[in-house]
Amino acid sequence: MNLYDFQDQISVITGGAKGIGLAIARRLAKSGARVVIWDSNPAAPEETLGAGRGHAALEVDVSDYRSVQHALDRTLEIFGRVDVLVNSAGVVGPDCPLWEYPLDQWVRVQRVNLDGTFHACRAVVPEMIRSGYGRVLNIASVAGKEGNANGSAYSASKAAVIAMTKSLGKELAGQDIAVNCITPAAAKTDLMLEMSDDYIAAVLAKIPRGRFVTVEEIASLSAWLCCRENSFTTGAVVDISGGRATY
């Protein structure tokens, strides 16, 4: 495993208690970062990241800006700054045609996936501007590029995350703050529990590699995008879809 130098960098991972977020948190922690997990149901960091490194876990509802701001205030009290922000918190939503999509579930998906990413960026980026350094990584999806049938809310939310990443990357391009997103194919995480067997089979059939991406593969790509060496790439959409993406 390649390790980048995150020694004593403060890395906030939303949705970091499980799935892709946890894999990224573990990868950065192994590279020396002090990780702060923001999650609606966080586990004690010594249970997931190991003891002795000064990690932290805070209960946060990313769909509520006040909760995000409170978590940032607490993070700054403990660590003093934020060097890396990874927005991984997300939900899939129901598997059904758009014209049957429950209105409350449409709102839920947008509030977590899109608003949650916006809230974290809005709160944390000013701190990065003040310190003169930062790396932001938003976890989007290949669904945001191509759209998944019976997944309109999820696809729309991730397309919006892609566009927001490009906008924020341009806004911060004159500073040592990189803002990028990745577009993974489906990975076997707890989000899969929200999908039907037919939906999972249909998604898998679209991946030329013929398998799901692993969370460790996603974490590996994420580590480079979040590291100090990534000093030029910003506003980018980096594919990790096993050949599915057509652009």
End-to-end CA distance of the chain: 29
For residue 136, being part of any structural domain is answered with yes
Span 8-37, average pLDDT: 96
Tell me the three state secondary structure of residue 181. Answer: strand
Q: What percent of the chain has pLDDT over 70?
A: 98
User: Which residue from 75, 71, 31, 70 is spatially nearest to 53, judged by alpha carbons?
Assistant: 31
pLDDT digit string (tens) for 75-117? 999 999 999 999 999 999 999 999 999 999 999 999 999 999 9
For residue 125, being part of any structural domain is answered with yes
**Number of neighbouring beta carbons within 10 Å of residue 217:** 15
For residue 4, being part of any structural domain is answered with no
For residue 89, being part of any structural domain is answered with yes
Q: Tell me, what's the pLDDT at 60?
A: 98
What CA–CA distances, in Å, run from 90 to 5, 20, 85, 171, 179? 27, 10, 15, 25, 18
The token pair that represents 231 in the structure block = 């000093």
Q: Is pLDDT above 80 for 50? A: no
The CATH number of the domain where 216 resides is what?
A: 3.40.50.720
For residue 26, being part of any structural domain is answered with yes
Span 12-31, average pLDDT: 96
What CA–CA distances, in Å, run from 245 to 12, 63, 104, 156, 165? 28, 29, 30, 16, 18
65 has catalytic annotation: no
List the single range of 80-89, 130-139, 196-205 with lowest mean pLDDT: 196-205
Number of domains in the chain: 1
User: What values do phi and psi take at 55, rounded to 5?
Assistant: -80, 170
Angle value at C-alpha 111, between 172 and 177, nearest 5 degrees: 15
Q: Are 186 and 200 in contact (CB under 8 A)?
A: yes
List the single range of 42-51, 54-63, 109-118, 180-189 with lowest mean pLDDT: 42-51
Residue 43 pLDDT grade (very low, low, confident, very high; cuts 50, 70, 90): confident
| List 4, 154, 199, 247, catalytic entry | 154
For residue 2, being part of any structural domain is answered with no
Q: Which residues pair with 139 in a beta bridge?
A: 182
What CA–CA distances, in Å, run from 228 to 9, 11, 176, 218, 231? 10, 12, 9, 18, 6
User: What values do phi and psi take at 95, rounded to 5?
Assistant: -105, 95
Buried-state track 201-216, b at ≥16 Cβ within 10 A, e below 16: ebbeebbeeeebbebe
For residue 247, being part of any structural domain is answered with no
Q: Which residues pair with 18 in a beta bridge?
A: none
What is the domain extent for residue 163?
A: 10-239
Q: Tell me, what's the pLDDT at 51?
A: 61
For residue 141, being part of any structural domain is answered with yes
Global pTM reads 0.94
Amino acid present at 216: E
Amino acid present at 212: F
